[in-house]
Amino acid sequence: MLSQKTIDIIKSTVPVLEVKGTEITTVFYKNLFTNHPELLNIFNHTNQQKGRQQTALANTVLAAATYIDKLETIIPVVKQIAQKHRSLLVKPEHYPIVGEHLLGAIKEVLGEAATEEIIGAWADAYGVIADVFINIEKEMYDNAATQKGGWAEFKEFKVIEKVKESDVITSFYLIPNDNSVVPTFKAGQYITVRSKVPGEKFLLNRQYSLSDSPGKEHLRISVKREAEVNQPDGIFSNYLHEHIQTGDTLDITAPAGDFILNNKKESPVVFISGGVGITPLMSMVKDIAINQPNRKVEFINASRNGKLQAFEEELRFLEEQLTNYSLSFIYEAPSEEDLKNPNFKKQGYIDVKWLQNNVKSINADYYVCGPVPFLKAIINGLKQLGIDDAAIHYEFFGPSMSLES
Which domains are delineated in the chain?
A: 4-146 (1.10.490.10), 155-252 (2.40.30.10), 269-395 (3.40.50.80)
Residue 231's SS3 state is coil
Residues of the chain with pLDDT under 50: 229, 401-403, 405
Strands 269-274 and 365-369 come out as parallel
Closest CA to 61 of 108, 136, 6, 10: 10
Query: What is the rounded CA–CA span in Å between residue 227 and residue 242?
Result: 13
Query: What is the rounded CA–CA span in Å between residue 345 and residue 309?
Result: 14
Residue 112 bears catalytic tag = no
Residue 46 DSSP one-character state: H
Residue count (the chain): 405
Please name the amino acid found at residue 393.
H
User: What is residue 403's predicted lDDT score, i.e. its pLDDT?
Assistant: 46
Residue 190 bears catalytic tag = no
Which residues are CB-neighbours of 65 under 8 A, at least 6 positions away? 10, 11, 13, 14, 17, 125
CB-neighbour burial class of residue 287 (10 A; exposed 0-12, middle 13-18, buried 19+): buried
> Rounded to the nearest 5°, which phi and psi values hold at 379?
-65, -40
User: What is residue 254's predicted lDDT score, i.e. its pLDDT?
Assistant: 96
> Rounded to the nearest 5°, which phi and psi values hold at 202?
-110, 160
Residues 153, 157, 160: CA angle, nearest 5 degrees: 165
Please name the amino acid found at residue 3.
S
Strands 269-274 and 325-331 come out as unpaired
User: What is residue 47's predicted lDDT score, i.e. its pLDDT?
Assistant: 57
> Rounded to the nearest 5°, which phi and psi values hold at 263?
-95, 10
> Rounded to the nearest 5°, which phi and psi values hold at 170?
-125, 140
Query: What is the rounded CA–CA span in Å between residue 55 and residue 62?
Result: 11
Catalytic one of 29, 126, 137, 141: 137
Query: What is the rounded CA–CA span in Å between residue 331 and residue 346?
Result: 7
Catalytic one of 95, 126, 239, 394: 95
Rounded to two decimals, what is the model's pTM?
A: 0.90
Please name the amino acid found at residue 69.
D
